[in-house]
């Protein structure tokens, strides 16, 4: 089975969030199951630099205003295709925005190019390589199913995975011809979206299968409240929509060998965590003699992540016997507010504004509990890492957070199966109440240690998710033997 994965980020070459982690981990998880997955990414400087052992370069001719070629090779253990188009991708830094944080004005062309080349690889551009399935991730790959659909002729099967429905790739209708889409595509069954062009919408409308990264998020996005404008479309495609949880890379996130920790896990004991907690307190300048509980946050600072609620709850938090460390970046107002909180309460609140992978590992190894108060969360990776490191996740009961944490309710505690704490609704009051509840539980070491051990024993690897993806691909390929109208028009639906 050959699958071409198409995405705008891949760990460890280029990453702004969990999408990169997933795209980087899937090939390794699928290989033992007989799936040969190659990844197509834009040729950003960070990617081309790593793509040292180039096997080949295929000229693509002019592509949206400049010459392009397709490089194939290996980097970081991945089989990669990189779309080398300097006029589109030879820009340092963040893949989507300029140094002032503004979207690149040609993002439509940049990611249409990625999708178009994916479609061309899918129909035989590269000699000797023909994927059975082309699997696109998020809006940046959303036009791939459209190019295959309107291109006509034999095509591979297509899957679209939604990692975050909030990012949709909406562009003006006038770009239709520029993007080399036929006039017929400007329709409700095509790429049209509220009068413009919707990249993610196109992918969700025209892909053979849709997945998202947790079963609960799959339900949420098919509702009016959670659908962000696409709920109706997704309800109409409920028969091809499913949720497959993400896993985490167990070699990158391994407390027994993690070089970013002050002490590594050894055997069943939990003493190593005390050393990491002390190191973390020192790193953030927190009161060294404190015996207080330590909460942590590792997150983008955005509306989605709900960390404004934690800011609002800080006065009530500080009345508890607990301290806080936060590693985060994003919304400037939230960054400032957290910095100010750390200055106001030295010794109790430590803040690092920025992106620091190593520090994120130390936080997981050292905090007693990790707070994830997201308003919505497709899957969430930090709570999975927390489980593996014995940091108890305190999470909003939404999306993948609801699916991966077993709440310490009375029965779960009695049955000794709890792995964390959930709260709902996602409000400041519920969060503050839950943090107090966490402190109460932490003061009962037998219950708390049981939760830590349960979490550490939870399978957060890619094993099960990889099996689910293989099932999906196999179903699609089996359907090919009886292809009714996969090249025909897509019927209107809900």
Q: Which of 9, 10, 21, 197 binds ligand ADP (CB under 6 A)?
A: 21
Nearest C-alpha neighbor of 144 from the set 31, 252, 5: 5
Q: Applying CB under 6 A, which of residues 63, 241, 311, 327 lies at the interface with ligand ADP?
A: 327
Give yes or no for residue 5 binding ligand ADP (CB under 6 A): no
DSSP-derived secondary structure for 149-201: HHH-SS--EEEEEES-TT---EE-GGGTTTTT--GGGSSTTTTEETTEEEHHH
Would you put residue 44 in left (φ > 0), alpha (ψ -120 to 50) or beta?
A: beta
**Minimum gap (Å) between residue 199 Cβ and ligand ADP:** 19
- Smallest gap from Cβ 379 to ligand ADP, in A, equals 6
Residue 328 touches ligand ADP, criterion: CB under 6 A: yes
CB atoms under 10 Å from CB of 123, counted, come to 17
| CB closer to ligand ADP out of 70 and 162 | 162
Q: What is the C-alpha separation between 223 and 382, in angstroms, rounded?
A: 26
Segment interacting with ligand ADP (CB under 6 A) among 91-99, 185-193, 355-363, 468-476: 355-363
CA distance 338 to 277: 21
For ligand ADP, give the closer residue by CB, 104 or 355: 355
What is the chain's Cα-based Rg? Answer: 23
Query: Site map for ligand ADP, 239-278, x if CB under 6 A?
Result: ----------------------------------------
The CB-of-433 to ligand ADP minimum distance in angstroms stands at 24
CA of 232: how far to CAs of 198, 217, 224, 301, in Å?
A: 15, 15, 7, 29
- Pairwise CA distance, residues 222 & 237, whole Å: 9
Q: Are 161 and 137 in contact (CB under 8 A)?
A: yes
To ligand ADP, the closest distance from the beta carbon of 422 in angstroms equals 16
Q: Are 423 and 374 in contact (CB under 8 A)?
A: no
Residues 6+ apart with CB under 8 A from 323: 281, 286, 287, 290, 292, 293, 294, 295, 347, 348, 349, 350
Q: How far is the CB of 479 from ligand ADP (least distance, A)?
A: 31
CA distance 315 to 309: 11
Query: Looking at 158, 212, 276, 299, which residue binds ligand ADP (CB under 6 A)?
Result: 299
| Residue list 59-98, contact with ligand ADP (CB under 6 A) | none
User: Interface with ligand ADP includes 145 (CB under 6 A)?
Assistant: no
With beta carbons less than 8 A apart as the criterion, state whether 405 and 395 touch. Answer: yes
Stretch that binds ligand ADP, among 51-59, 100-108, 276-284, 353-361 (CB under 6 A): 353-361
CB of 191 to ligand ADP, least distance (A): 26
DSSP 309-368: HHHHHHHHHHTSSEEEEEEEEE-HHHHHHHHHHHHHSTTTEEEEES--HHHHHHHHHH-S
Within residues 367-396, the interface with ligand ADP by CB under 6 A covers: 380-382
Distance between CA 281 and CA 362 in Å, rounded? 11
Number of residues that bind ligand ADP (CB under 6 A): 16
Measured from the CB atom, is 58 or 458 closer to ligand ADP?
458
Nearer to ligand ADP, 214 or 452 (CB): 214
Name which position in 106, 356, 428, 467 contacts ligand ADP (CB under 6 A): 356
Nearest to 221 by CA among 211, 145, 404: 211
- CB of residue 139 vs ligand ADP: minimum separation in angstroms? 14
Residue positions counted in the chain: 494
Nearest to 123 by CA among 102, 144, 92, 101: 144
Rounded to a whole number of angstroms, the minimum distance from the CB of residue 253 to ligand ADP is 9
Considering the complex, what minimum distance in angstroms separates the CB of residue 470 from ligand ADP?
A: 22
Interacting residue with ligand ADP among 125, 312, 329, 412 (CB under 6 A): 329
User: Which lies closer to ligand ADP via its Cβ, residue 17 or residue 347?
Assistant: 17
The correct pick among 9, 18, 107, 203 for binding ligand ADP (CB under 6 A) is 18
Minimum distance from CB of 383 to ligand ADP (Å)?
7
Report the nearest approach of ligand ADP to the CB of residue 380 (Å).
4
Q: Is 7 one of the binding residues for ligand ADP (CB under 6 A)?
A: no
C-beta of residue 90 within 8 angstroms of C-beta of residue 97: no
Cβ closer to ligand ADP: 6 or 386?
386
> Residue 355 interacts with ligand ADP (CB under 6 A)?
yes
Helix (H) or strand (E) holding 278: helix 271-283
Q: At closest approach, how far in Å is the CB of 307 from ligand ADP?
A: 11
Instruction: Note the residues at the interface with ligand ADP (CB under 6 A).
Output: 17-18, 21, 298-300, 327-329, 355-357, 360, 380-382
């Amino acid at each position: 089975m050959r699958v071409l994965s198409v995405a705008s980020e891949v760990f460890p070459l280029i990453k702004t969030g969990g999408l990169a982690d997933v795209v980087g981990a899937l090939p390794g998880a699928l290989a033992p199951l007989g799936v040969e997955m190659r990844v197509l990414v834009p040729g950003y400087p960070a990617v081309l630099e790593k793509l040292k052992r180039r096997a080949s370069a295929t000229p693509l001719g002019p592509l949206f205003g400049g010459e392009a070629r397709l490089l194939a090779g290996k980097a970081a253990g991945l089989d990669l295709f990189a779309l080398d188009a300097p006029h589109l991708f030879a820009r340092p830094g963040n893949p989507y925005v300029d140094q002032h944080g503004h979207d690149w004005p040609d993002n439509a062309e940049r990611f249409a190019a990625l999708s178009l080349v994916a479609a061309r690889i899918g129909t035989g551009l590269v000699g000797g390589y023909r994927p059975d399935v082309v699997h696109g991730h998020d809006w940046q790959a959303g036009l791939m199913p459209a190019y295959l659909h309107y291109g006509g002729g034999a095509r591979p099967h297509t899957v679209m995975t939604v990692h975050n429905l909030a990012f949709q790739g909406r562009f003006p209708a006038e770009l239709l011809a520029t993007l080399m889409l036929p006039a017929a595509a400007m329709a409700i069954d095509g790429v049209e979206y509220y009068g413009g062009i919707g990249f993610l919408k196109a992918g969700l409308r025209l892909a053979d299968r849709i997945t998202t990264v947790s079963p609960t998020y799959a339900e949420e996005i098919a509702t009016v409240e959670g659908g962000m404008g696409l709920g109706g479309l997704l309800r109409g495609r409920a028969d091809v929509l499913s949720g497959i949880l993400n896993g985490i890379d167990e070699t990158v996130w391994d407390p027994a060998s993690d070089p970013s920790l002050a002490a590594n896990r050894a055997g069943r004991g939990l003493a190593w965590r005390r050393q990491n907690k002390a190191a973390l307190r020192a790193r953030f300048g927190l009161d060294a003699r404190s015996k207080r509980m330590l909460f942590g946050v590792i997150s983008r600072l955005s509306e989605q992540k709900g960390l404004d609620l934690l800011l609002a709850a800080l006065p009530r938090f500080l009345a508890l016997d607990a301290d806080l460390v936060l590693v985060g970046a994003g919304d400037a107002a939230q960054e400032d507010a957290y910095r100010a909180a750390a200055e106001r309460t030295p010794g109790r609140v430590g803040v690092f504004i920025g992106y620091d992978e190593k520090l994120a590992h130390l936080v997981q190894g050292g905090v007693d509990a990790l707070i994830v108060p997201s308003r919505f969360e497709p899957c969430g990776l930090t709570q999975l890492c927390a489980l593996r490191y014995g940091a108890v996740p305190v999470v909003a009961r939404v999306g993948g957070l609801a699916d991966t944490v077993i709440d310490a309710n009375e029965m779960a505690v009695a049955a000794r199966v709890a792995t964390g704490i959930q709260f709902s609704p996602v409000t400041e009051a519920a969060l503050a109440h839950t943090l107090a509840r966490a402190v109460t539980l932490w003061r009962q070491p037998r219950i708390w240690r049981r939760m830590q051990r349960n979490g550490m024993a939870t399978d957060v690897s890619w094993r099960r998710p990889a099996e689910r993806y293989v099932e999906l691909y196999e179903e699609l390929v089996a359907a090919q033997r009886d292809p009714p109208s996969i090249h025909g028009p897509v019927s209107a639906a809900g």
